[in-house]
Structure 1
Amino acid sequence: MTQTMADPIDSDLQGPIERPSPALLQTLYRKDSEEMQRVGIRQGLWAAVLVYLLFSITDILLIPDAALPAIAVRFTVGIGTLIMVELQYRENAPAARMDLTCAVALVLAYVGWLFAAITTRHTETISYYLVFGAIFMMSANLFFSFRFQFSILVSGVMLLASLSVLFYLFPYNRIYQLSFGIFHVSCFIFTSYVNWKLNRERYNVFLNALEAKMQHKEATERGKALLKLSRTDPLTGLENRRAVDERLRDHWGAWQQQGRRFAVLLIDVDFFKRYNDCYGHQEGDRCLILVAAALSKTIEAHDASIGRYGGEEFIVITSLDKQEEVADFADEIRSTIEKLALRHDQRRDGMQIVTVSIGAAFTRHQTGAKLEKIIHEADRALYLAKASGRNCAKLFDPNDPQSSDESENIAALLKIAIEKDLVSLVYQPIQNVKTGRVEALEALMRLNMLDGTSVPPSLFIPVAERTGAILELGRWAIRTVCREYLSNDHTRIVSVNVSPIQLKAPGFATSVAAILGETGIAGNRLAFEITEGLEMEMHSDVLRCISDLKLLGIKIWLDDFGTGFAGLSWLRLIDFDTVKIDRSFLHDCSSPRGEAMLQDIVSLLRNRGPKILVEGVEVEDQMELIRELGIDQVQGFHVGRPARVESIRAEAPVRQRQLPIQKSA
């Protein structure tokens, strides 16, 4: 099973609560109650010393002859102990040391007073006065919070001192010894029990408080873990879209209120669907985990955050606000993934490793600015990066017509283009080199703005592909060709450019069959030109669609051969009827090297069997070279410029005399 970066969060939620051992509990208890004990010792000592000194009055009343030494002992021990404990408290001495000081002081206070008091001549009075000795034992357990064993020791010493005095002063009075001895022992037992009970209750209170703290901590930690889990992508451990959206809102708020600019980078793993299909979903998950880890490490030094924004798409938010800095940052990210060297054999674009395409956008002052705008701009920049060959980064440029707001106006225009008759077709002739006759036409789409201004195909076709409008426009183009031209037998074959988006769309071949049936046109009078571009991924859906189209009799042409990386693979997989060599190879023939390149391409294609068509023929010298190379067909301004259907129809009788029409059965 693939281990994910989010596993620690799951373990936080599922792990048992760790309970401290009894020994550790005792340590925690002493540590937790340390300051409280120090304060309690100080307060208890002040109360005990005050009571101890007040008994000086009873010394004067009951044993006046021994009062002076007894009172001297009281003040010496009492004041001395207060001074020592105050010094210890201010020096943050541990509670155990302060307890020891108080315990020694208690014993000294009792024994010192006792030896001073028994020097009195009032024997009978002292026999009753000794009753108050029990107060000293009680004070060890009531005025102070001694631990039970320590309390037993201290009060036990004072008990022995009391019993010794009883037997020393009154050796023959058994009744007195018995009664007062039982009284002192009873006080010892009673106060010891009270001390044990109080210590036990204090410990239980501590345990309850500790349990409450642990439960609160556990609830807090689980709450944090749940919150983190709800904001974490379960596969990569990065922030998920929910967390990213919150972070984006925070950055947007800082930008609106404080002017703190930021940039958004959308990162897409190139050809990831093919990676998944080839290596399996488990390897696909591993690929995403490795990419996520590399991205996380890369952004650490750039004051940036990262999240997973979609299936194979990541998003980085950074406070960088200079175009050069973001460009360098984006290229560093791209280079980092490239250096991972994750094998990807199914790309068919000249690369054999996993790479990423990156689109970036900045915050900028504009009318009606919204948070969604910067994401949309980054997405448009990403589209341009993918259209530019992938494994590159593009920054959104509002002045670039391919990514600017003008493309959004075109996107809106395309939605109403068919309804408002803003889209039309022109036809460019294709000539047979040997006969000199025009034997086919290529249908080219044109678009006008509402004011009649024309929009270049290089601008509106990418927008149509990006927005999906190409699907409806493509069906309209095929239907229009069949209705306005093929149905009137103006030419034998008309070719129509077909976008990879259309070939990937479910039901495209079925919709073409419906149009052919609706217009009564045979499929062999229609040709579809497929551009050899990077968007043309050779997955099963595309190959199946092409196979279905060929079953309908439709000719399949490979357009712009030589401009991409997939041409040879397409020639191996698909039996093309015609291959169009890109105009750039013909125009490079002014040099011997360029001419040799064109000859090599022609030789390669001739061995494969399809007809060869060279486009971009503009002058007679180029036409002569075409004849020398034995090219089958040509297209270009030298043969004929794209024209409206009306102009083509005017020339139809001449073409009909030149080339008979093959009617459908």
Structure 2
Amino acid sequence: MNAANKLLAAVRFRWRVRIPDALWPEFEHYILRQHRPFLLLTNIIAALAFFSYVLADALLIPDMASASLLTRATLLVVAMVNIWLVFGRSRNVLLMDQLMPVHDLIATLSWFELLKRSHSPDVPTFLYASLIFIVFANLGVRVSFKGAVLSSLAISVAIMSNVALMNPHDSKPLLVFSLVYLPVLLFCLFMSWSTTTSVRLAFYTAQEQRRRKHELSTLNQRLQMLASTDALTRVGNRRAFDLQLQAFWQQSQQHGRPFALLLVDIDYFKPYNDHYGHPAGDHILADVASAMVSCLRSGQALAFRYGGEEFAILLQTGSQDELLHIAQRVQQQVAALEVEHRYRPDGLGYLTISLGAALSSLHGLQHATDLLACCDRMLYRAKQQGRNQVLLAQDETVGIV
């Protein structure tokens, strides 16, 4: 089991799911992406709902109707400004999460001031409407259960102390109110705990899914690389060459981008393999591939093992002179390895290569296979003419067998 799975398994069995400091920035980003719209909407709805209670005040405490309108309108403006500042100018998820509970605390204190100044006989009944404050304080919490507990306790102290102040000589109203209020408080705290726990577990699950997706993507890339790479020489294999040759040809036909193909053959490789042994032969194949790649500009050329001791190089060039220069540089780079080969029939004494090359823009080439056949003929002629040389196809040599 990896570290991410262990962490996810551990947090599932804790009453409080903790976000480590190292993961907090990612958790904030997750909240902003997944829950910011909800937090914004609940803050706006709560502010508007608080203002709408001006109608209830007008009916139940009519002597405070004008004061209620002024108070609620002022608090609505303050709330909207705060919402704009927190959600529009800040990216602090704790502020977004606890903004509504703070507004609820201010609204609670303001509303009880209206009740305490009213002489309406409906005040004792209207007190129970204060339950809505503790509900709204916990309704939108998504990030911090600790914050929900602290804000709920503050709102509860404000409510209970004001109920007690409004009934200074009789404890029975406070007792009855408490019997109704406490279950609501506990349910709201449970709701906050459940929500914040679910959000954090969802974050860990998203982290794990993203990790698995990344691992799968990496594995697929590795498999694709293995499927297109020659295991011995670490350059592209024949399958990759066939695909790239077709891709280069199609681009050339569609966009007029000429390219070049080089076929490379290690001279007298069979005598080398027979006398020095297959392990030495494999080592030379890898060294020759590495030498060729080292002198090719990254992004300009692709190298492949064509088969046996043959290699292919695709070049993004349309210049005959540049093609010749690159081919000679490849030839010189391999010769610079100074690999001893005493069993050459020509007696040269060291390892060399022969190259046949052609541009895709040569007249008479109709398909990618025509270019490949042309290069193969040039390579064959280079070997017939004594090896250790470069032959480039010209327009007049395209059709010559």
Partner residue of 1:323?
Answer: 320
Partner residue of 1:62?
Answer: 60
TM-score (norm 2): 0.87
SS at match of 1:225: helix
Asked if residue 19 in structure 1 is aligned to residue 13 in structure 2, the reply is: no
Q: In 2, distance between residues paired with 1:247 and 1:68?
A: 80
Compare 313-322 and 201-210 and name the one that shifted more: 201-210
Alpha carbons 2:352, 2:388 under 8 Å: kept:
yes
Q: In 2, distance between residues paired with 1:271 and 1:368?
A: 30
Amino acid at match of 1:405: G
Q: In 2, distance between residues paired with 1:358 and 1:365?
A: 18
Query: For residues 464-543 of structure 1, what are the structure 2 equivalents within 5 Å?
Result: none
Q: In 1, distance between residues paired with 2:3 and 2:367?
A: 48
How many percent of aligned residue pairs carry the same amino acid?
A: 28
Q: In 1, distance between residues paired with 2:242 and 2:293?
A: 18
Partner residue of 2:399?
Answer: 405
Partner residue of 2:95?
Answer: 97
Identify the match of residue 311 of structure 1 among 275, 295, 308: 308
Asked if residue 170 in structure 1 is aligned to residue 164 in structure 2, the reply is: no
Instruction: Compute the displacement of 1:366 (Å).
Output: 4.6
Asked if residue 292 in structure 1 is aligned to residue 286 in structure 2, the reply is: no
Q: In 2, distance between residues paired with 1:179 and 1:350?
A: 112
Q: 4+ residue runs of structure 1 moved beyond 6 angstroms? A: none
Query: For residues 357-376 of structure 1, what are the structure 2 equivalents within 5 Å?
Result: 357-364=354-361, 366=363, 369-376=366-373
Instruction: Compute the displacement of 1:144 (Å).
Output: 4.4
Instruction: Compute the displacement of 1:26 (Å).
Output: 5.6
Compare 250-259 and 24-33 and name the one that shifted more: 24-33
Q: In 2, distance between residues paired with 1:302 and 1:25?
A: 38
Alpha carbons 1:270, 1:357 under 8 Å: kept:
yes
Alpha carbons 2:93, 2:143 under 8 Å: kept:
no
Identify the match of residue 53 of structure 1 among 42, 47, 51: 51
SS at match of 1:384: helix
Asked if residue 381 in structure 1 is aligned to residue 378 in structure 2, the reply is: yes
Query: For residues 179-198 of structure 1, what are the structure 2 equivalents within 5 Å?
Result: 179-198=176-195
Instruction: Compute the displacement of 1:182 (Å).
Output: 2.4
Instruction: Compute the displacement of 1:241 (Å).
Output: 0.8
SS at match of 1:118: helix
Amino acid at match of 1:180: F
The 3 A distance-change label for structure 1 pair 302 and 321 is: farther
SS at match of 1:19: helix
Give the number of the structure whose alpha-carbon radius of gyration is greater: 1
SS at match of 1:307: strand
The 3 A distance-change label for structure 1 pair 260 and 338 is: same
Identify the match of residue 272 of structure 2 among 275, 283, 293: 275
Instruction: Compute the displacement of 1:102 (Å).
Output: 3.3
Partner residue of 1:390?
Answer: 387
Amino acid at match of 1:169: M
Q: In 2, distance between residues paired with 1:193 and 1:81?
A: 26
Asked if residue 79 in structure 1 is aligned to residue 64 in structure 2, the reply is: no
Identify the match of residue 32 of structure 2 among 31, 34, 40: 34
Instruction: Compute the displacement of 1:194 (Å).
Output: 1.0
SS at match of 1:274: helix
CA RMSD of aligned residues (A): 2.6
Instruction: Compute the displacement of 1:135 (Å).
Output: 0.8
The 3 A distance-change label for structure 1 pair 103 and 291 is: farther
SS at match of 1:191: helix
Q: In 1, distance between residues paired with 2:299 and 2:321?
A: 14
Q: In 2, distance between residues paired with 1:173 and 1:236?
A: 93
Q: In 2, distance between residues paired with 1:276 and 1:92?
A: 70
Partner residue of 1:618?
Answer: none
Query: For residues 153-232 of structure 1, what are the structure 2 equivalents within 5 Å?
Result: 153-232=150-229
Q: Which runs of 5+ in 2 are unaligned?
A: 9-19
The 3 A distance-change label for structure 1 pair 273 and 288 is: same
SS at match of 1:265: strand
Alpha carbons 2:362, 2:395 under 8 Å: kept:
no
Amino acid at match of 2:49: V
The 3 A distance-change label for structure 1 pair 301 and 166 is: closer
Q: In 2, distance between residues paired with 1:383 and 1:266?
A: 10
Q: Which runs of 5+ in 1 are unaligned?
A: 1-15, 409-665
Residue deviations 1:561-582, cap 9 Å, x none?
xxxxxxxxxxxxxxxxxxxxxx
SS at match of 2:354: strand
Alpha carbons 1:78, 1:109 under 8 Å: kept:
no
The 3 A distance-change label for structure 1 pair 80 and 372 is: same
Alpha carbons 1:47, 1:143 under 8 Å: kept:
no
Q: In 1, distance between residues paired with 2:38 and 2:176?
A: 35
Alpha carbons 1:137, 1:158 under 8 Å: kept:
yes
Residue deviations 1:641-664, cap 9 Å, x none?
xxxxxxxxxxxxxxxxxxxxxxxx
The 3 A distance-change label for structure 1 pair 182 and 272 is: farther
Partner residue of 2:11?
Answer: none
Amino acid at match of 1:93: R
Q: In 1, distance between residues paired with 2:58 and 2:89?
A: 37
Residue deviations 1:595-631, cap 9 Å, x none?
xxxxxxxxxxxxxxxxxxxxxxxxxxxxxxxxxxxxx
Instruction: Compute the displacement of 1:52 (Å).
Output: 0.2
SS at match of 2:307: coil
Residue deviations 1:125-153, cap 9 Å, x none?
32222211111111011144352111111
Amino acid at match of 1:90: G
Aligned length: 388
Residue deviations 1:509-539, cap 9 Å, x none?
xxxxxxxxxxxxxxxxxxxxxxxxxxxxxxx
The 3 A distance-change label for structure 1 pair 113 and 78 is: same
Instruction: Compute the displacement of 1:206 (Å).
Output: 3.6
Amino acid at match of 1:388: Q
SS at match of 1:252: helix
